[in-house]
A and B are shown apart, each in its own frame.
Chain A
Amino acid sequence: MVIDDLNAIAEKEQAARKKTIIRCCMAAGCMSSQSEVLKQSLEQAVKDAGLSDEVEVRGVGCMKLCCRGPLVSVDTQNTLYQEVAPEDAPELVNTLKGGKTKLKRGDLDHPFFKRQLAIVLANSGEIDPERIEGYIAADGYQALHQVLREMTPKEVVETIVKSGLRGRGGAGFPTGLKWGTVAKTQSSQKYVICNADEGDPGAFMDRSVLESDPHSVLEGMAIAAYAVGANQGFIYVRAEYPLAIKRLQTAIKQAKTLGLLGSGIFESPFNFNIDIRIGAGAFVCGEETALMMSVEGKRGTPRPRPPFPAESGLWGCPTLINNVETFANVPPIVRKGAEWFASIGTEKSKGTKVFALAGKIENTGLIEVPMGTPMRQIIEEMGGGAPDGGKVKAVQTGGPSGGCIPASALDTPVDYDSLTKLGSIMGSGGMIVMDDSTKMVDVARYFMEFCVDESCGKCIPCRAGTVQMLHLLEKILDRKATARDLAKLEELCGMVKSTSLCGLGQTAPNPTLSTLRYFRQEYEVLLQPDKFGPHDNGEAKKASFVI
């Protein structure tokens, strides 16, 4: 494979383009509403209408407005049809001949679409994720060629540093710095791992990226491998995402066939292979050291850092671990330049972020917005606020490691630092909207129960502490707790937070702490009078655990 071959594939693909393209969403959300049957019906309807030469029916990745699936778009009409049933196919195809339809049409000028800025999701809903030709026609693998033939590994790392890209998995560690650290280590064997163990309940961005545009992740990984000097990559993906696994397998096979993965890529001395590792339902495996244990086929228990994976990771070798979305950002950065990327977003958080909007909100689905977009804009304008006249009460970000942001703080811009200040985290990008029917103490209990279940059991603060905190929360919910119990709960939160081994335990108290911070009265109304007299808060503070 040389660049001419790549361009030839792209040209051939463009030449074969038919006048009209009917795009049918084939991501997991719409597939659960029979979009696969719908696509077949559309193909049949096109054939019956004698339009086969002019119209292409294309299965594409996520079209973002998941709550109204199955979604179908017709590019010449600039329309998004919603909730299309297989039997509606002939009627829909008939509109191409000027026919009328009563099908529900979405407004593509709605802020939900208009306010989006697609970098990671640029190909999502556009190309067929199961055909590499589609990705190549959309400038795919051009960045890899540019890197391999025109840049030194050092220049690649510098580009990423300059772009200001930060890890999209949650913590927001500067990606360039991480790449630089791995690149500097002296080792004949290095690894690149893509963390696709998207365990946060309520987050489905990575799933959508893998299902809609798997090649962008593969290309990003290959560029990273060249930059740090690795020749073997792993994608660790959850077993709960069978469709994403299938599309990744297809994508890897296609890339290997075309020589875009394997040995001597683009006739350079660079070799790179990617294997898929399927998780087995352990939330803690999203933590990087636990993930590496799991890749090695062991129990996914974390270990203390340092040494960081960048120095000693998989089988003791230097290892670069990045999230799916981080890798998907890499090819556009290389193609369009670091300056372009750095011009988007805020001072400390560059680029865009994909969020999964879910919960009690009118428009659930996937959005990609520039960093620093006010949360109110996301929830109220794009998301359309709470449904059925409800009122947004809080927004939960960051899953079990994050917190609840009260409606009063909705004007906060969404970036790493602002959310941390509010006691939550950006997390991987799940945004769950809660309305006034949601009980915040119950939410705290829900997340604590999650952490009890998912604690790996290696360190005591997390293993025993989460159980005790859950007991206390249940006691409060059963209206059996006193102010003393609440003080004990807060004390335990602080202790578990500061003494746990890994991120799971260190962040397990966050949902409780943040609901206590903003919705304390909901806890207090459940408390019972203390029969041993009023509780002295000052004394409790003195006795509390101090590090």
Chain B
Amino acid sequence: MSLTVPIENRKSVVEQHASGDKRFKILEAHMKKYQYRQDALIEVLHKAQELFGYLEDDLLLFVAYRLKLPASRVYGVATFYHFFTLKPQGKHTCVVCLGTACYVKGSARVLAAIEEKAGIKAGETTPDNELSLLTARCIGACGIAPAVVYDGTVTPRQTPETALEKMKGWISHGN
């Protein structure tokens, strides 16, 4: 479903979702924990992203409907914060920290090497959906700079070589 669905049809579509996919039930329980409070919107979106991987339009509508918030408000919050993504992510994620400490220690070179090898820019996903390449403003791992997070694991002192070694198998195309 997209935002183009007429308003009168939205409710039924939303409820249909809630009864189908199990993940909606988990999300529902999470909202209940916060007593459907509107100020819990960011917490709810965190949970939604954790469950679904990204925030689809109908997921945002579902949250808006349940928290009794205008869809515009939910969409506004989801697009304001960098942490939320509205596009599906690849099977693996690689987050290159571009914090100041990592930057002066050469994280830009690491990023450039990965970008070249994978053929995508930071913020994009490879066409085969294997890898999402992201950057972070600082993950607070400055003592072990430059740091790269591979599938949630922070890895210290990276160089272009170690990074490409680590990602063997994630980048399938080409050589």
A to B contact number (C-beta, < 8 Å) = 140
- Using CB atoms, name the residue of chain B closest to A239: B83
Stretch at the interface among B3-11, B38-46, B159-167: B38-46
Given A280-B82, A430-B100, A432-B100: A240 in contact with B143 (beta carbons within 8 A) = no
**A135 interface hit (Cβ, 8 Å):** no
- Of the candidates A296, A364, A447, the one whose C-beta lies within 8 Å of that of B145 is A364
- Of the candidates B77, B105, B141, the one whose C-beta lies within 8 Å of that of A360 is B105
A103 to B55, CA, bound (A): 49
Q: Are B139 and A358 in contact (CB under 8 A)?
A: no
Q: Are A204 and B143 in contact (CB under 8 A)?
A: yes
- Using CB atoms, name the residue of chain B closest to A64: B143
**B144 interface hit (Cβ, 8 Å):** yes
Residue numbers in B under 8 Å from A359 (CB-CB): 100-101, 104-105, 142, 145
Given A69-B143, A200-B138, A202-B101: A32 in contact with B153 (beta carbons within 8 A) = yes
Q: Are B144 and A399 in contact (CB under 8 A)?
A: no
Residue numbers in B under 8 Å from A366 (CB-CB): 143
**A249 interface hit (Cβ, 8 Å):** no
Within 8 A of A (CB), among B117-171: 136-145, 147, 153-156
A sample of 18 inter-chain contacts (CB < 8 A) reads: A28-B140, A32-B154, A198-B140, A201-B98, A201-B100, A240-B138, A278-B42, A278-B46, A280-B45, A282-B80, A283-B137, A294-B42, A297-B40, A297-B41, A300-B81, A360-B105, A364-B145, A430-B101
B129 CB, nearest partner CB in chain A, Å: 23
**A299 interface hit (Cβ, 8 Å):** yes
Besides A66-B143, A204-B142, A360-B105, 4 new A-B residue pairs in contact (Cβ under 8 A), listed by A number = A278-B42, A294-B42, A298-B73, A299-B76
Contact with B along A440-464 (1 / 0, CB 8 A): 0001001100100110100000000
- Of the candidates A241, A281, A296, the one whose C-beta lies within 8 Å of that of B81 is A281
Q: Are B81 and A364 in contact (CB under 8 A)?
A: no
Q: Are A430 and B137 in contact (CB under 8 A)?
A: no
Which 10 pairs between the two chains have the least Cβ-Cβ distance? Answer: A66-B143, A280-B81, A201-B99, A201-B138, A358-B101, A358-B142, A281-B83, A281-B82, A297-B41, A32-B154
Contact with B along A266-278 (1 / 0, CB 8 A): 0000000000011
A297 to B38, CA, bound (A): 7
Most chain B beta-carbon contacts within 10 A, residue among A282, A297, A300, A447: A297
Residue numbers in A under 8 Å from B103 (CB-CB): 201, 446
A203 to B143, CA, bound (A): 10
Residue numbers in B under 8 Å from A240 (CB-CB): 136, 138-140
Given A282-B81, A358-B142: A33 in contact with B100 (beta carbons within 8 A) = no
Residue numbers in B under 8 Å from A193 (CB-CB): none
Q: Are A300 and B80 in contact (CB under 8 A)?
A: yes
**B65 interface hit (Cβ, 8 Å):** no
Residue numbers in A under 8 Å from B82 (CB-CB): 280-282
Q: Are B80 and A33 in contact (CB under 8 A)?
A: no
**A369 interface hit (Cβ, 8 Å):** no
Residues of A in contact with B, size category = 35 or more
Within 8 A of B (CB), among A383-437: 396, 399, 430, 432, 434
Q: Are A297 and B144 in contact (CB under 8 A)?
A: no
Residues of B in contact with A, size category = 35 or more
Q: Are B81 and A204 in contact (CB under 8 A)?
A: no
Given A278-B46, A297-B41, A432-B104: A29 in contact with B143 (beta carbons within 8 A) = yes
**B54 interface hit (Cβ, 8 Å):** no
Q: Are B141 and A204 in contact (CB under 8 A)?
A: yes
- Using CB atoms, name the residue of chain A closest to B103: A446
Within 8 A of B (CB), among A251-287: 277-283
Q: Are A278 and B101 in contact (CB under 8 A)?
A: no
Residue numbers in A under 8 Å from B105 (CB-CB): 359-360
Given A199-B137, A202-B138: A32 in contact with B156 (beta carbons within 8 A) = yes
- Using CB atoms, name the residue of chain B closest to A67: B143
A447 to B104, CA, bound (A): 12
A92 CB, nearest partner CB in chain B, Å: 21
Residue numbers in B under 8 Å from A447 (CB-CB): 100
A199 to B155, CA, bound (A): 20
B9 CB, nearest partner CB in chain A, Å: 27
- Of the candidates B77, B141, B142, the one whose C-beta lies within 8 Å of that of A297 is B77
**A318 interface hit (Cβ, 8 Å):** no
- Using CB atoms, name the residue of chain A closest to B40: A297
Residue numbers in A under 8 Å from B84 (CB-CB): 280
